[in-house]
Structure 1
């Protein structure tokens, strides 16, 4: 029994790409299957809307903006455009692609949070928040690291990303450390706001039992629900984000406003197309979320509970992908096990449809996918080139050379039955998110076509019985037409070319499954055929493997150097004269001083140490020294201190000070020439 078409509104979404870095093929594991699914639904005649957008809030955005010495606004502008361009380059087209920083999303987030407050699902509570005394700031999420209280593995502030994968609430992390300066953090009390997630325990258990989608999403979420749910802190200490209603010092947690983006993007689509977003998010509809396996917890627990509490429609289906490996190694950008979509794939001339095919057919959608350049080559060459491409080109070339048009001839019932059974198996698999099974089923029709062509020996028939030969070729073109319809969701750009090659003037992207069995029109002119899929040569794969291995080697060398430095710092308490002589300690003069914005402990100093221009140095002396009073003072500076960024301000050196009930600046006993070395 098929699930589509349905008269209910259908909305398909993808987990939002984070606008703080480049697109890699791990991102495409979600977006390409979702695009394939949407295209397949349209072939049922289903009216479906496809939305997505950039996730632009949370600590990683602020963290990366500070690291790149830019603003969050500029950072998200850059990467939002990057992802929009990449998706279009990969033939992934959304009906709306917005950002969570859009005013629509701010307004919708406020409306939902206020509704939750009105319905009694949000309350305030004083809790302990990680705080860094050195940076003088509270440390939400990515600004703090430590040990997971559940499994003792290394974790970040909001998630045990290295161990059990559990979401972590503020204050839960053990042995907290500031990720900005590396010093130990402490806990301070502060008022925050909580969502009464615990009250949705029974609702979620029943909801998950009836949730459509992949079993890995249902089972993972059900496991956490059965263990019992705690209330969820939904505010953070950040200036960047959606302000919590009535509080200028708090923003809503990114996992509140990010999924609300699905609603606000639908609103933007509706406004642009004279449609109603309420018919999807307020009435009976089918909302399908395609997500990565690492965000199941948020989409199957937090999100439906929040929607239920605010009286919105909950998702009908959640489709979670398996994780990604690169060359059979765990995906890791820092270790070099990554393939960037633009620089490693598109810029090397690979057609986007080839990667779409590989990612959709390598393995089941819920299983771990391994990307390997040799595997990629073998799959494309053996399947798209050797099976599909071979049948399509040989059939069209024979027709072009011997007829110049689609010849007359009755289409055999066995051929039509085979096409129809392929469509049935294909559509059933697609509706169950079994993309590999669906495409393998379609590919079997190409194998059938090759066998049909070979067994009927048209090269012999053309000499003996041209009419019978024409009938055989007409049947081959009928099979080719069905293949184009079935493969269009997977390799859409290539099938647009193939559709024209069989003499079709209509839009292949608007074709329906029923078109596959609609008889081809005889005497339709056929243009000279072109090869659809070209073999990937060994030399190209060797080139790509070298790029990958060089990247891994470079990352390993960097990691080794870092480890050596850390080991040396940990193991050596005493230093010898050679070590001391490496320190470039000089006398300088403070020529300017001012407080660092957002910090009551740090001063930004400009120190003249005898160079062409003063050095910028950040010093933690604001509580003991007024900026105006220290201008003109000579101080001692460690000039070759490794550059650092404190509260977003670059520091190139260290002003030396002692500690005696506050910072005590070290000074020469008398005025000396600026730049005088100490040693």
Structure 2
């Protein structure tokens, strides 16, 4: 138990699409952590909210013909309701577009300006002459200046992953009209991130949380910090002070939302938000590993520069795979929390258990329906559920309730050991280890009841049988309190089967080794249902259909992307040429060096047709040549054109009638 209140936050879901299992990788462990700390007697405030600003929301809203606020409200409600269905209980779930966050963001930015951490600078930014507007980062795509891969305006999302400042992307293209963008000068404001190198030298080594967050951030610090452009040319967002034509970058106002949501919680409850953001009470951020930089580098610097307290811990989760394939909405490798799970009537507790028990929090979580089935059936049903039902059924039916005995010290000692192991793991953010400790107590209970066999003992020694069952009931009570943080809905059902009329979520862990509310036990029921093979096949079929549809869509789009206009085709220069000389190229089995007559000039062309033609049979043939290709060297021999051929046997394209060399193909 800690005497100091703790604030726990989760990365903000972005309101331009529905919730999927990748989101839950962050929110379920955070909820598990908060619930368990409360069982320990700790005071915890748990806040989150929806991220409502930025270009993607504007683009999505424009496509639907609605306002960005309308879209944000829709998905805000969606996430709020989905989290509640998944038994994730925030003390406050706000919106970054609400007045409290607008006000707090302006206050922080003004404080940064006063402290000389923000300066203005003229920069070259992508401008679309066709649309007559400066293009915010997500309205632009082009080539990454660092690795050469295709990238979006703010990040090399398909290559090296580097953050891109406005104007850095090469060959910019407007995503609105598809036309080429150009660079034009515009005044923007920059945050002096480089001011905080010294601060990070002392801060990062002491940052608690997961090592992947700390190590990743340290790597950025070693590379050197670069100032961030923190304004964008958008109408949607928090206005930059005294500049109505600019809004602050979404990565400024989104994390400030943590402060605003804490303020909203304090206003509602009479709590003190400043103890977290201007005092010594710890702040712990749960995030996905793709936003480590923003939370471990950019955000602490903003807080330091504006005179706020910095986070004490950053807990970063690993990524998610679907059936061992990289998570991808566009390619169909996605499990939607509602459509694919909750709307089918599947238990939120089962999914919570899978997410927390599958692997270490910092490692990659792979979701497959078969593995999901195995964990539910083997662990929840056959281990915990089996022990609980056997114990309660025997106690209720054969003994009439809770036997009037004190549990053995060995039993209470084993329960306390499981509690100690679980708490130690959770406070180190090792959630799988914590689940393993809880499940090991359930396994211990199964072995204990099986070895002592009260159904046999009762025939000859009722007292001993009652003592065994009393021990099993104590283990069951401890398990239910421990499992509440993990599977709260089923834990409450089990708590009531133990004869309690209170809420299990309100119980301190110390209650695990105390007595019972009533000697009478209600008739127990089966707590968990097995996942049958035919259901798994049905769920897998849905996933496979989605993948197949995504592949078809991608193929269609690729085909459309390959379509060219008549003007583009007109750029290709095709002429009839006559071959007058051909010879093999030394060292190559496929290439021939060929001399062609184009009427007004002669050219050398290298062609890969040696497997199909001898040099002798090519002499005198008329062929079609692409004549405006840039020169290339093949096996060290320069080629100034391309001879066209069709099919696997390289049938040469030629004219039906005799045509003079150099005649254009129209």
**Paired residues for 1:342-361 under 5 Å:** 342-361=338-357
Contact kept? 2:500, 2:516, Cα under 8 Å: no
1:323 to 316, 319, 326: 319
**Paired residues for 1:500-519 under 5 Å:** 500-519=496-515
Q: Over residues 340-384 of structure 1, what are the superposed CA-to-partner deviations in whole Å (9 max), with x where a residue is unaligned?
A: 111100111101110000011111000001110111001110100
Contact kept? 2:2, 2:42, Cα under 8 Å: yes
1:405 equivalenced with 2:401 (yes/no):
yes
Which residue is equivalent to 2:615?
Answer: none
Q: What secondary structure is seen at the aligned counterpart in 1 of 2:188?
A: strand
1:391 equivalenced with 2:390 (yes/no):
no
2:269 to 273, 288, 298: 273
Q: Over residues 251-299 of structure 1, what are the superposed CA-to-partner deviations in whole Å (9 max), with x where a residue is unaligned?
A: 0000000000000000000001112211111111100000001000000
2:162 to 151, 166, 173: 166
**Superposed displacement of residue 571, structure 1:** 11
Q: What secondary structure is seen at the aligned counterpart in 1 of 2:166?
A: coil
1:282 to 272, 278, 282: 278
1:528 equivalenced with 2:523 (yes/no):
yes
Contact kept? 1:285, 1:313, Cα under 8 Å: no
User: CA–CA distance in 1 between the matches of 2:422 and 2:12?
Assistant: 28
2:36 to 36, 40, 50: 40
Contact kept? 1:193, 1:233, Cα under 8 Å: yes
Q: What secondary structure is seen at the aligned counterpart in 1 of 2:243?
A: coil
Contact kept? 1:391, 1:450, Cα under 8 Å: yes
User: CA–CA distance in 2 between the matches of 1:468 and 1:382?
Assistant: 30
Which residue is equivalent to 1:496?
Answer: 492
Structure 2: tracts of 5 or more residues without a match: 571-666
User: CA–CA distance in 2 between the matches of 1:249 and 1:240?
Assistant: 10
Q: Which moved more, 1:364-373 or 1:182-191?
A: 182-191
- The higher radius of gyration belongs to 2
1:199 equivalenced with 2:220 (yes/no):
no
Which residue is equivalent to 2:550?
Answer: 555
**Superposed displacement of residue 449, structure 1:** 0.2
Which residue is equivalent to 1:238?
Answer: 234
User: CA–CA distance in 1 between the matches of 2:505 and 2:360?
Assistant: 25
**Superposed displacement of residue 87, structure 1:** 0.4
1:94 equivalenced with 2:80 (yes/no):
no
**Superposed displacement of residue 73, structure 1:** 1.2
Q: What secondary structure is seen at the aligned counterpart in 1 of 2:339?
A: helix
Q: Over residues 443-483 of structure 1, what are the superposed CA-to-partner deviations in whole Å (9 max), with x where a residue is unaligned?
A: 00000000000000111111111111111000001000010
**Superposed displacement of residue 166, structure 1:** 2.0
Contact kept? 2:210, 2:316, Cα under 8 Å: yes
1:313 to 309, 314, 317: 309
User: CA–CA distance in 1 between the matches of 2:484 and 2:162?
Assistant: 39
Which residue is equivalent to 1:652?
Answer: none
**Superposed displacement of residue 402, structure 1:** 0.4
Contact kept? 2:49, 2:257, Cα under 8 Å: yes
Contact kept? 1:404, 1:527, Cα under 8 Å: no
User: CA–CA distance in 2 between the matches of 1:570 and 1:325?
Assistant: 39
Q: Which moved more, 1:256-265 or 1:457-466?
A: 457-466
**Paired residues for 1:485-634 under 5 Å:** 485-520=481-516, 524-569=519-564, 573-574=568-569
**Paired residues for 1:124-523 under 5 Å:** 124-520=120-516
TM-score by length of 1: 0.83
User: CA–CA distance in 1 between the matches of 2:462 and 2:259?
Assistant: 60
**Paired residues for 1:643-658 under 5 Å:** none
User: CA–CA distance in 2 between the matches of 1:227 and 1:416?
Assistant: 53
Q: Which moved more, 1:102-111 or 1:151-160?
A: 151-160
**Superposed displacement of residue 570, structure 1:** 8.1
**Superposed displacement of residue 574, structure 1:** 4.5
Aligned residues: CA RMSD: 1.3
User: CA–CA distance in 2 between the matches of 1:534 and 1:217?
Assistant: 38
**Superposed displacement of residue 404, structure 1:** 2.2
User: CA–CA distance in 2 between the matches of 1:94 and 1:168?
Assistant: 34
**Superposed displacement of residue 142, structure 1:** 1.0
**Superposed displacement of residue 408, structure 1:** 2.1
Which has the higher relative contact order, 1 or 2, with Cα contacts under 8 A spaced 6 or more apart? 1
**Superposed displacement of residue 520, structure 1:** 4.0
User: CA–CA distance in 1 between the matches of 2:281 and 2:531?
Assistant: 44
User: CA–CA distance in 2 between the matches of 1:168 and 1:567?
Assistant: 28
Q: What secondary structure is seen at the aligned counterpart in 2 of 1:42?
A: helix
User: CA–CA distance in 1 between the matches of 2:2 and 2:415?
Assistant: 24
Contact kept? 2:373, 2:536, Cα under 8 Å: yes
Contact kept? 1:409, 1:472, Cα under 8 Å: no
1:82 to 58, 74, 78: 78
User: CA–CA distance in 2 between the matches of 1:150 and 1:158?
Assistant: 13
Q: What secondary structure is seen at the aligned counterpart in 1 of 2:562?
A: helix
**Superposed displacement of residue 418, structure 1:** 1.0
User: CA–CA distance in 2 between the matches of 1:555 and 1:163?
Assistant: 22
* Structure 1 runs, 4 residues or longer, greater than 3 Å off: 570-575
User: CA–CA distance in 1 between the matches of 2:96 and 2:163?
Assistant: 22
Count of aligned pairs: 570
Q: What secondary structure is seen at the aligned counterpart in 2 of 1:249?
A: strand
1:103 to 89, 99, 106: 99
User: CA–CA distance in 2 between the matches of 1:254 and 1:404?
Assistant: 62
Shift in CA distance, 571/219, structure 1 to aligned 2, threshold 3 Å: farther
